Copies of this chain bind each other. A is one copy, B any other.
Amino acid sequence: MISSQSLLIVGSLAFDSLEMPYGTFEYVVGGSTSFASIAGSLLTRGVRIVGVVGEDFPEDYLASLRGRSIDTVGVERVPGKSFFWRGRYSADLNTRETLDTQLNVFANFQPKIPASHRATPYLLLGNIHPQLQIDVLDQMEKPEFIAVDTMNYWISSEPETLAKLLKRTDLLIINDEEARQLSGIQNISRAAQDIRKRGPSHLIIKRGEFGALLFDDAGTFFCPGFPLEEVRDPTGAGDTFAGGLLGYVARHADTSPLTLRRAMFFGSALASFCVEGVGTTRIGEVTRAELDARIQSFVRLVDYGANLTLPVEEESR
């Protein structure tokens, strides 16, 4: 892969046990890096991942990632068990409760960026401790565009470290509750203004099934969620969105406003596949033809003929 189109993703490789209203799925392979890298690989062959797994993580799964041209040289395998999360979803799948989190090998994770990856231009830092995200940045050679995910836990427990990270962030990707928590402002538009002043020139606020808002110097942009007839498992949808978005950016080697807006459609389309299956099963089998078809459905979903002028009104008579 030519390096100008490459994307480095750092985050978790994990097992998830999912208690869904229709059944329980034990030890499903997940983690932000699994979802994001598969999504990215559907748009660019330049995806590289860095992470840590334990002895229990299936080598076949890593091989399947390599089969989609994802570079796994940066994945360390160390003694012990892989990161594990157990959660229970509500009947409508809109909320979930964490039942168990075992950091395992992730507890001592120190991301080491292989020399071959340090000049990667596009970077997606999944939701891990903000100090580890900074440690990754310190190993990179002038990345062109740094996208960062985080969560409520780090916003409340590591505000100072997160503040340092935000000063080096080009694009922060969080959900609406996290935006409210980070800014202390209830209104989303004003929260976005506040957060952008803290460093990120670009901010995406995800709103679940409803879509996502992008705030940048070009203004505010909205990309809807794709209305699905069946949702099986929302786990990883946000990571899939981010991976697809950055994959599109890397494919174009461009972060102009128009490219980022288009990238949101690809991220949202891929996220809509993700939630159709448990874990990475559905996103892992998406074909290029399926993606093209969903993008076309998306185009129709927002097509108003690009003309909102009012005609001259006929005179009263």
Contacts and interface: CB of A to CB of B under 8 A. Distances in A.
Interface of A: 1-2, 5, 43-45, 69, 92, 186-190, 207, 210-211, 213, 218-224, 227-231, 251-252, 258, 261-262, 264-266, 295, 297-308, 310-311, 313-314, 316-317
A307 B238 CA distance: 24
Contact of A304 (B227, B228, B262): B262
Task: Name the residue in A222, A303, A316 with the highest tally of chain B Cβ atoms < 10 Å from its Cβ.
Answer: A222
Given A314-B2, A316-B45, A302 B227 contact: no
Given A45-B313, A211-B224, A229 B187 contact: yes
A296 B162 CA distance: 36
A302 B220 CA distance: 9
Contacts of A252: 311
Contacts of A187: 228-231
Given A69-B316, A221-B302, 13 more contacts: A1-B317, A44-B313, A92-B186, A189-B229, A190-B229, A213-B227, A221-B304, A223-B304, A224-B224, A258-B304, A262-B304, A264-B304, A302-B302
Contact of A43 (B186, B310, B317): B310
Given A258-B304, A299-B308, A311-B252, A316 B227 contact: no
Nearest to A5: B314
Nearest to A207: B210
B221 A227 contact: no
A221 B265 contact: no
Given A2-B314, A251-B313, A265-B304, A222 B227 contact: yes
A265 B301 contact: no
Contacts of A69: 316
A162 B36 CA distance: 47
Contacts of A314: 2, 5
A47 to B, nearest CB: 12
A98 B231 CA distance: 34
Contact of A300 (B189, B219, B304): B219
Contacts of A261: 303-305
Contacts of A92: 186
A28 B305 CA distance: 39
A315 to B, nearest CB: 8
A265 B316 CA distance: 25
Contact of A303 (B45, B221, B230): B221
A72 to B, nearest CB: 16
Contact of A295 (B219, B308, B313): B308
Contacts of A262: 304-305, 307-308
Contacts of A223: 304
A291 to B, nearest CB: 9
